[in-house]
Amino acid sequence: GDVRLWGGRFADGPSEALAALSASVHFDWRLAPYDIAGSRAHARALHRAGLLGDDELTRMLAGLDQLEADVADGSFTGTVADEDVHTALERGLLERLGADLGGKLRAGRSRNDQIATLFRMYLRDHARIIGGLIADLQDALVGLAQKYADVAMPGRTHLQHAQPVLFAHHVLAHAQALSRDAERLRQWDKRTAVSPYGSGALAGSSLGLDPEGVAMDLGFERGSAGNSIDGTASRDFVAEFAFITAMIGVNLSRIAEEVILWNTKEFSFVTLHDAFSTGSSIMPQKKNPDIAELARGKSGRLIGNLTGLLATLKALPLAYNRDLQEDKEPVFDSCDQLEVLLPALTGMMATLTVHRERMQELAPAGFSLATDIAEWLVRQGVPFRVAHEVAGECVKECEAHGIELDQLTDEQFAKISEHLTPEVRSVLNVPGSLASRSGRGGTAPSAVAVQLSEVKADLVIQ
């Protein structure tokens, strides 16, 4: 029979072309458990309003339980003819309860307030899942920072050797960015804890229902929508979720790009575990960082999901428009992508072998201790403008003779500047350079230890 929710004023059924265009069951079916939870809460609201009797409520809830079980084991599914998940589940309920009782549930609600509510529920659950996966990755980064706590590496700006830093310092920088992503998810979740159920199509309900009760029933800590037009038409919660997931993707791509570089023959900083790298179908020697490359690639896709969604929302008049059906696939995809990417990236980082000798050896290369000379001079009372000039002369002298800064003789130092006494050698080695940067956030082992405990403390909140 006709399963449409809106057949009354139509003489003809929908054309095939319309049905094919309009159908969303193939992607919104994943909202079925949330739709059923919403139906339960709505049935209880109808009962409180006197629109369902005690016995009717009992039978209604039993029918919804049955439907939920049938959805869970796959014995009931939506079809193209159902148009969307809401229509399919209404058909399922009518089949189980008969039209007299089953047909009562739709009173006082619209697919517009339903979808706005279910979508929030789904994304809130996945924000928690993604938050947990981020914490796992941070755990892996913390593990690396601890395992290689004493290893120095060349810190870079412009990808050029800049100053030596602790490898742990560098890795924890990525962990800090991820802490902010996790915090963004928590703050978003708080903002999204408002239920549009009861907003109806756009104007609210005349049936004396209880949107606050429904909101509490469905776990929306901040109650029901304060404006039914906004409740049904706003999708900034989706756009913000798409931004946060895109930002996560971008942060992951920055980790990934470094691993790809570190894993090259030229860097030789790391080796990937066999279980987290791939081979080539033609070149037998190849061992490729595909996980990192997919992280880099998928970040583009996550950005696309955000920009596509914003373009859909731009200039949409209030209230609901069918354009809004296009809001789900992009962020469902963002969830799906991150939920496969994060565990793989975590495994890759957790099993990374770091070549400490190679990193240590390159840490002071490229005159990366020149700043240490300048800052040592400043501590001796030399103005920084002069100190910078003098340290630059040291580099010039080294380049002329093809030597490193610590190979300059006392005589060469003295010739460059009277301030360059042999004591300058105390900072002309990597451990001395690192130890001198002991202020908050710096690369000294003591300062990095503080960073480690701060990231660990964040992980406890997450």
322 or 385: CB nearest ligand ARG = 322
209 or 238: CB nearest ligand ARG = 238
Closest separation in Å from C-beta 169 to ligand ARG: 47
Closest separation in Å from C-beta 83 to ligand ARG: 7
Closest separation in Å from C-beta 80 to ligand ARG: 13
Closest separation in Å from C-beta 195 to ligand ARG: 16
24 or 253: CB nearest ligand ARG = 24
**Which of 158, 206, 281, 453 is labelled catalytic?**
158
Site residues (vs ligand ARG, CB under 6 A): 24, 84, 111-112, 115, 320, 322, 324-325
Closest separation in Å from C-beta 34 to ligand ARG: 13
Q: What is the 3-state secondary structure (H, E, C) of the chain?
A: CCCCCCCCCCCCCCCHHHHHHHCCHHHHHHHHHHHHHHHHHHHHHHHHCCCCCHHHHHHHHHHHHHHHHHHHCCCCCCCHHHCCHHHHHHHHHHHHHCHHHHCCCCCCCCHHHHHHHHHHHHHHHHHHHHHHHHHHHHHHHHHHHHHCCCCEEEEEECCEEEEEEEHHHHHHHHHHHHHHHHHHHHHHHHHCCCECCCCCCCCCCCCCCCHHHHHHHCCCCCCECCCHHHHHHCCHHHHHHHHHHHHHHHHHHHHHHHHHHHCCCCCCCEECCHHHCECCCCCCCCCECHHHHHHHHHHHHHHHHHHHHHHHHCCCCCCCCHHHHHHHHHHHHHHHHHHHHHHHHHHHHHCCEECHHHHHHHCCCCCCCHHHHHHHHHHCCCCHHHHHHHHHHHHHHHHHHCCCHHHCCHHHHHHHCCCCCHHHHHHCCHHHHHHHCCCCCCCCHHHHHHHHHHHHHHHHHC
Known active-site residue 158: yes
24 or 305: CB nearest ligand ARG = 24
**Which of 15, 268, 280, 446 is labelled catalytic?**
280
Residue reference for tokens 């360059």: 420
111 or 120: CB nearest ligand ARG = 111
Q: Which position's Cβ is nearest ligand ARG?
A: 111
111 or 174: CB nearest ligand ARG = 111
Closest separation in Å from C-beta 146 to ligand ARG: 47
Known active-site residue 280: yes
Which are the catalytic amino acids? 158, 280
